[in-house]
Amino acid sequence: MARYLDVHPVDPQPRAIAQTVAVLREGGLVAYPTDSGYALGAMMGNQDAKDRIKDIRRLDDKHHYTLVCRDFAQLGQLVHVDNAVFRAVKAATPGSYTFILPATTEVPRRLLHPKKKTVGVRIPEHPVVRALLAELGEPLLSSTLILPDETEPLTDGWEVKERLEHVVDVVIDSGECGTEPTTVVDLSSGEAEVVRIGAGDPTRFA
């Protein structure tokens, strides 16, 4: 049965954030709000949680998992960025974008796209996520909470709890969150390719 935490959307309670991070460090799986709907999050090295995300969302092996980062310095440890890509990503973060980029050796091989050796990265704007990342001290392995046969992420904490309370360990509810998933931009070739149009303005990468 998932623990349900009611968290302030602008000034998250440190106790609730600490409780959530403790569950993550113990190997748990968390449903949390972002500026682009709910997401599922776990520690980067947690293979069991990755498998749980895969089962919940019925993902195939080609799915790009996302590493959610606190800031650009953390992002830069996980992916290779040249000067042009650096400027493009820097200008769009924090925000509702996920960028697909070649991974560094800091990223576990099992999180990489099997052929491209790439991974998704993003820096969200949501205060609750930023508090979680600050307390955790490392990126979150994450995936947008879009359930099978649905096209939009879940956005209501109570609904998330009712539908997933037996398959996640914590549900954070901070009221309304974004209703669109991130815009996904593949920059792995050096040229921008918009893979999914979502909450972030895609025209800056057209």
The two beta strands, 193-196 and 183-186, are antiparallel
Cis peptide before 114 (omega within 30 of 0): no
Q: Pick from 36, 3, 26: which is nearest to 128 by CA?
A: 36
pLDDT surpassing 90 at residue 64: no
Q: According to the model, what pLDDT value does residue 63 have?
A: 84
The two beta strands, 97-102 and 118-122, are antiparallel
Q: How confident is the model at residue 152 (pLDDT cuts 50, 70, 90)?
A: confident
Domain ranges of the chain: 3-205
Residue 166: what residue type? H
Q: According to the model, what pLDDT value does residue 195 have?
A: 94
Residue 48 phi, psi (nearest 5): -60, -45
Q: Pick from 133, 49, 89: which is nearest to 102 by CA?
A: 89
Q: How confident is the model at residue 47 (pLDDT cuts 50, 70, 90)?
A: very high
CATH number for the 3-205 domain, one of 2.60.120.10, 3.90.870.10, 3.40.50.11740, 3.90.209.20?
3.90.870.10
pLDDT surpassing 90 at residue 177: no
Residue reference for tokens 């924090």: 94
List CB contacts of 86: < 8 A, sequence separation 6 or more. none
Q: How confident is the model at residue 92 (pLDDT cuts 50, 70, 90)?
A: very high
Q: How confident is the model at residue 113 (pLDDT cuts 50, 70, 90)?
A: confident
Q: According to the model, what pLDDT value does residue 28 have?
A: 98
Beta bridge partners of 142: 41, 66
Residue reference for tokens 């539908």: 163
pLDDT surpassing 90 at residue 164: yes
Q: According to the model, what pLDDT value does residue 187 have?
A: 96
Q: How confident is the model at residue 194 (pLDDT cuts 50, 70, 90)?
A: very high
Q: Pick from 21, 26, 96, 24: which is nearest to 66 by CA?
A: 96
Q: Can you say whether residue 42 is alpha, beta or left, with left for phi > 0 and alpha for psi between -120 and 50 degrees?
A: beta
What mean pLDDT is predicted for residues 136-154? 92
Percent of the chain clearing pLDDT 70 (strictly above):
100
Q: Pick from 18, 38, 53: which is nearest to 174 by CA?
A: 38
Q: According to the model, what pLDDT value does residue 115 have?
A: 87
The two beta strands, 140-144 and 193-196, are unpaired
